[in-house]
Amino acid sequence: MYLDKIKKAKRNIEDIVMKTPLLYSEVFSKGCQNEVFMKCENLQLTGAYKIRGALNKIRSLTEEEKNKGVVCSSAGNHAQGVAYASSLANVKATIVMPETTPLLKIQSTKDFGGNIVLAGEVYDDAYKEAKRIEKEQGVTFLHPFNDIDVICGQGTVGLEILEDLPNVDIILCPIGGGGLISGISIAAKSINSNIKIIGVQAAGANAMEQSFKKGHLINIDKVDTIADGIAVKQPGNLTYEIIKDYVDDIVTVTDNEIVEAFFTLSEKHKLLAEASGVVSLAALKKLNEKNKKVVSVISGGNIDMVTISSLIDSALVSKGRLVCFSMELIDKPGEAVKVAQVFSSVNANIVELYHNRFKAKDKLKNVVLDVTVETNGHSHIQSIKEALINHGYNIIQVY
C-alpha cells in the first residue's frame, strides 16, 4: 500500500522535482572498503530533499485547505520546501523557524515567498508556535516528518536510488524526525527486502536512536550538535513505527566526524553540503561490512559562508593542516624575522602573525607572538615544534 503511495507521489511531483545524481566516490570508497555512491539531494531544488514531501503534501490538499493557507515549523529545509511549493500553488504559507536558524535559510525561505516567524532556540520550540498559529488562524499545519503524504514524497528518493543502482546493498540515511528514512526504507524494502537500511543521527541529538534501541518513543531534554537540520528532541510517532519495522540499525556520529566528512566532500568532490547532510558520509567508517554497494544520502546543501569557513578551519586543525604557536620574545627589532626563518626552514607557510605585549610575563621587555601556519599534517607539526625548540623558543600550541 505504501509503495503505491510513493509511486503516486513520484508522478505527483516529477514535473517540478529534479532527479538528483547518484555519484560514485573513490575517496569515500577507499575509506571504508566498500563501493560508495552519493545521492546528492544537496543539488535538489531549494537545496534539499524536503521539496519532495512539501510539494506532494501541498498538492494533496483540498481547495478549501489551500484557500485557508498553511503553516509549518522547520529548522530551514522544510521551510524552503513549503514556501516554494506553496508559491507554485498560490497558497499563503507561514513558516515558523528557530531563532538560531542560519541566515541563509531564513533569507532563502523569504525569497521563496514564505512569511517568516522566528520562535525559540530549536525545532521543537518552533513547532509549538506553529501549532498555536494553526489553532488560532484555522490554517493547515504541514508537519515536516510525521505525515504520510510528506513521508511518501521523501520516499521518491528511494525509488530514484533503486532506478540507478538496483543492486544496492546498504543505504545510509540521516535522521532528524525520521521522515526521509521512513520514505526511503519503505520504497527500498518493498522492492528488495534484502537491502539494509541504516539511519544516522548526530550523537548530540539522538532521540530516534534511543527510541529504536529501547523499543519505545523517547524524547530528549536538549540537543547539542552542529547538525542543526537534524537536531530534533521529539521524534515522530508515525516515523518511529515505520523505522521500527523497516530500518535495520541506527548509528551516531560526533561533530568531529561530521566536520571531517564535510571537509573531505568539499575538498575531494568540490561539493558543498550542510552538516546534517553529510552525517551519512561520516557514518561510512562505522560499517562492519566490506565490498558492498553503499549509498550515502546527502540530504541537503543549505549552508552559509560563515559556517563553511568555520567548518573548514576546524577540519584543517583536526587534520594537522593548520596550527597556531604562541611564544614570548624579547621586544626588539629582528626577533620576529628570526622566528619566520625557522618556520621557513621547515617549509611551514605563515598565514598570520599577532603581537601582544600585554600577554607577556615581562610586559616592559617582552612581547607574545602568536603564529598561525599552514602545515602538511601532524608529523609536519612535530617537525616544526622540534625546530623551534632547537632554536631556544619556549612554545605553546594554541590549536
Please, are residues 272 and 283 in contact by the beta-carbon 8 Å criterion? no
CA distance 200 to 208: 10
Same structural domain for residues 183 and 240?
A: yes
Same structural domain for residues 230 and 277?
A: yes
DSSP-derived secondary structure for 273-327:
--GGGGHHHHGGGG----S-EEEEEE-B----HHHHHHHHHHHHHHTTSEEEEEE
Least confident segment among 56-65, 100-109, 156-165, 280-289 = 100-109
Same structural domain for residues 35 and 106?
A: no
Q: Look up residue 73 and give its DSSP letter.
A: E
Give the model confidence (pLDDT) of 308-325 as tens digits.
Answer: 999 999 999 999 999 999
Q: Is 74 left (phi over 0), alpha (psi -120 to 50) or beta?
A: beta
State the number of CA atoms in the 13 A half-sphere of 123 facing the CB.
Answer: 28
Query: Among 254, 287, 313, which residue terminates a domain?
Result: 313
Same structural domain for residues 70 and 165?
A: no
For the chain, the average pLDDT equals 94
Q: Which residue has the higher pLDDT, 108 or 184?
A: 184
**Which CATH number do you get for residue 333?**
3.30.70.260
Q: Whose grid coordinates read 515522530?
A: 236
Mean pLDDT in residue range 188-196 = 98
pLDDT at 56: 98
Closest of 168, 159, 184 to residue 37, by C-alpha:
168
Same structural domain for residues 20 and 66?
A: no
pLDDT at 190: 97
pLDDT at 360: 80
Query: Among 252, 287, 313, which residue terminates a domain?
Result: 313
Same structural domain for residues 120 and 247?
A: no
Same structural domain for residues 10 and 137?
A: no
pLDDT at 356: 81
Same structural domain for residues 93 and 197?
A: no
pLDDT at 102 over 80: no
Query: Among 117, 141, 165, which residue terminates a domain?
Result: 141
Same structural domain for residues 118 and 97?
A: yes
pLDDT band for 357, please (50, 70, 90 cuts): confident
Same structural domain for residues 134 and 173?
A: no
Give the model confidence (pLDDT) of 359-397 as tens digits.
Answer: 888 777 889 999 999 999 999 999 999 999 999 999 999
Give the model confidence (pLDDT) of 18-74 as tens digits.
Answer: 999 999 999 999 999 999 999 999 999 999 999 999 999 999 999 999 999 999 998
Same structural domain for residues 127 and 166?
A: no
Mean pLDDT in residue range 344-355 = 92
Which triple of cell numbers denotes residue 93? 504559507
pLDDT at 123 over 80: no
Residue-number span of the structural domain to which 116 is assigned: 50-141
**Which CATH number do you get for residue 91?**
3.40.50.1100
As for how many domains the chain has, the answer is 3
Same structural domain for residues 98 and 245?
A: no
pLDDT at 103: 81
CA distance 92 to 70: 6
